Chains A and B, each alone.
Chain A
Amino acid sequence: MFPVIINIILVALTVFISNVFLITLFLKWDRIFDDPRTKHYPDVTIAVPAKNEERNIAKTLQCLLNLKYPKKIRIIVINDGSKDRTLEIAKRFPVEIIDKKTNSGKARALNDALKKTKSEIFGFIDAETFIDKNALMHIVGYFNDKKVGAVTPSIYIHNSENTIEKIQGVEYAFSMMSKKLLTFLNCLYVTPGCAFYRTDIVKKVGGFDEKNLTEDLEIALHISKSGYMIENSINAKVWTIVPDTVGKLLRQRIRWYRGTIHNLIKYKSMLGNNDIGIFVMPVMLICGMFVLLAYSFMLGFSILEFIYNLLTYSFAFVLSDYSITTYSIPFSQNILLTFSVFLFAVFILNIYFSQKISGVPLVKNFKELLLFLILYSPILAVALIISLINIITRSENKW
């Protein structure tokens, strides 16, 4: 009985979270694609921290130089102790370069660029991320509101050759919608891969935390804690290179989860105190620490059980001469299965709206969608377990 109650609580929480997203989606649907028109064009500096990025840096810089913007954009490349031709390639472009002989980490590199920045807006982009030429025009209008501390674009995946990359494509398409919806709740809590900040706010919060594994999460929480909002533009697009093997994906997620756990501890005072602390942090705690471990497997089994029951009863119906009775309804088996059917319906809606918002053909990539549904949660659960073990055993930060 006890595990059943725990399961019902977990599923009920998942249903609640799904409902928050669904209701927000329906209430704010007309504002999803709306970006505010800008009143003026502020000066913009974009930092590109790069370490051993000889394969991507040229494309990243070319995309930045192609950005449509009425004013000149200052681009600063921070060569963070690269041992390849990153510096040599960067020098071919009309950009400023900070050349660091030894690697000091992304946060330090960004802070170095931040110190040299006097412009109103400070942006950064990872050296393996490519920005759309119209992205900045979509983003800059959000800064009309003095309460906006940061704006993030929509992140698409650049490499979608193998299955593991395509599965991440599904994840990124889903997260595009959820990030946008979180902005309506003032709950966007991370600025990954590429983001634009109000420079004075970033300086006011002390810049990027150089000891943090996920400085993009830390700065977002810091900005939010300081009372500013983080916005997102669906129309501003960037493409990033994602891990192409399960091993690399696991390493990336372990780093993310470790960083998330550290930041949740660092910003525990926010819990229950502001919008992120009321919704996202409890959800992260519950989903991340508990649901991801237990529910991902349970959901997997519930869906399998549902399919199994559906098949069994269908076959029983076909092979026998029974009249259709209530036995034919598989989800009457138990409450959890009923919830699973609801969550499955939510998942279908999620697919529909994520596809509509992101433009990623999720239904067409049915195989990846199915693999995402079945395999991704267990993979992420493994990453979370390893992260927790690492934290408990105080293993070195390898990243």
Chain B
Amino acid sequence: MVKVKIYALAAFVTLLLIVSSFYLNWYMGNTKEQELQQKYYSIDSLLSSSQLEFEYISSAKDNCNLLNETIGMTRTNLVSINTKLEEYKDYLVSDVEFNRLKTEQTILYVKIWMLSKKVKESCNMNFSTMLYFWDTSMQSKEQGYIVDAVRNDHPDDLIIIPLDYNFDIGIINLLKKDYKIDSAPTILIDENTKLTGLNSKDEIEKFL
């Protein structure tokens, strides 16, 4: 009789554990979904806000002081969007959601790059633009650290636009074709200097 009680109790505790595990899993999944949603909105609104800023700058192209100031802010926003998107990716969101945000981000980046070129010419400003084509290779990772270090040393006179070399959208493919970028990592400084492969900080800074 004692044995039957032991087996019955063990079965009951096991069942309880299974049910609690499923509930816990459901609860955590739900909470995770809500937090992901919040993150998504946060990135989405940041992108919208940056796009609006971009529109505003484009229309105010005669005001060089404002342009200079706004480009500085945009530079900060670029880093913020990048970080948030990387965080978002870490939470293993669906590819569709992630790619939509990434496409918007890439388009915005390229628009900012194009505007920066225009502002530089029309307002005669002294800063450089850098397109950094990266992929998931170890070499790109190392180059990424170096690019970060260059950015930290040039907070006011350099705009870095990171672009995923393998991200299959029209504008990336067009840029790759136009500037003959056929591998990653590749750095394109002010449209005229192309550095392929791993380059040291000093080598990059020579062209700024």
Which residues of A does B touch, CB under 8 Å? 8, 12, 15-16, 19-20, 22-24, 27, 184-186, 275, 279, 316, 320, 322, 325-327, 329, 332, 334-335, 338-339, 342
Contact = CB atoms under 8 A, between A and B. Distances in A.
A19 B21 CA distance: 16
B24 A19 contact: no
**B contact residues, range:** 20 to 34
A342 to B, nearest CB: 6
Residue picked from B2, B11, B21, B87, most chain A C-beta under 10 Å: B21
B66 interface: no
Given A23-B9, A327-B32, A332 B24 contact: yes
A325 B87 CA distance: 13
A326 B6 contact: no
Nearest to A20: B10
B21 A339 contact: yes
Contact of A334 (B13, B25, B90, B91): B25
Given A16-B11, A332-B24, A335-B22, A325 B17 contact: no
B6 A24 contact: yes
A185 B25 contact: no
A338 B10 contact: no
A104 B185 CA distance: 74
Given A275-B3, A332-B24, A338-B25, A12 B32 contact: no
B13 A19 contact: yes
A301 to B, nearest CB: 18
A20 B13 CA distance: 10
Given A27-B2, A332-B32, A334-B25, A279 B7 contact: yes
A338 B21 contact: yes
A327 B6 contact: no
5 contacts: A12-B18, A23-B6, A316-B90, A326-B31, A338-B25
A10 to B, nearest CB: 13
B64 to A, nearest CB: 35
A24 B13 CA distance: 13
A326 B35 contact: yes
6 closest A-B pairs by CB: A332-B28, A19-B10, A20-B10, A16-B14, A338-B21, A326-B31
Contacts of B29: 332
Nearest to A13: B14
A185 B3 contact: yes
B56 to A, nearest CB: 30
B28 A329 contact: yes
Interface string B81-107: 000000100110000000000000000
Contacts of A184: 2
Contacts of A275: 3
Interface of B: 2-3, 6-7, 9-11, 13-14, 17-18, 21-22, 24-25, 28-29, 31-32, 35, 87, 90-91
Contacts of B14: 12, 15-16, 19
A12 B16 CA distance: 11
Contacts of A16: 10-11, 14
A185 B13 CA distance: 18
A342 B17 CA distance: 9
B3 to A, nearest CB: 5
Contacts of B21: 335, 338-339, 342
Nearest to B25: A335
Nearest to B35: A325
Nearest to B18: A12
Contacts of A325: 35
B2 A15 contact: no
B32 A326 contact: yes
Given A20-B10, A24-B6, A338-B24, 17 more contacts: A8-B18, A12-B18, A16-B10, A16-B11, A19-B9, A19-B10, A19-B13, A20-B7, A23-B13, A185-B6, A186-B3, A316-B90, A320-B87, A326-B32, A332-B28, A334-B25, A338-B25
Contacts of A19: 9-11, 13-14
Given A335-B21, A335-B22, A338-B21, A20 B31 contact: no
Which of B6, B7, B14, B87 is the most central at the interface, judged by chain A CB atoms within 10 Å of its CB?
A: B6
A184 B13 CA distance: 20
A12 B31 CA distance: 25
Contacts of B13: 19, 23
A313 to B, nearest CB: 10
A8 B19 CA distance: 12
A339 B17 contact: yes
Given A12-B14, A19-B13, A325-B35, A27 B28 contact: no
A334 B25 CA distance: 6
A335 B91 CA distance: 18
A319 B18 CA distance: 35
Contacts of A12: 14, 18
B32 A15 contact: no
A99 to B, nearest CB: 46
A16 B7 CA distance: 9
A188 to B, nearest CB: 13
A325 B28 CA distance: 11
Contacts of A327: 32, 35, 91
Contacts of A22: 10
Given A326-B35, A327-B35, A327-B91, A332 B10 contact: no
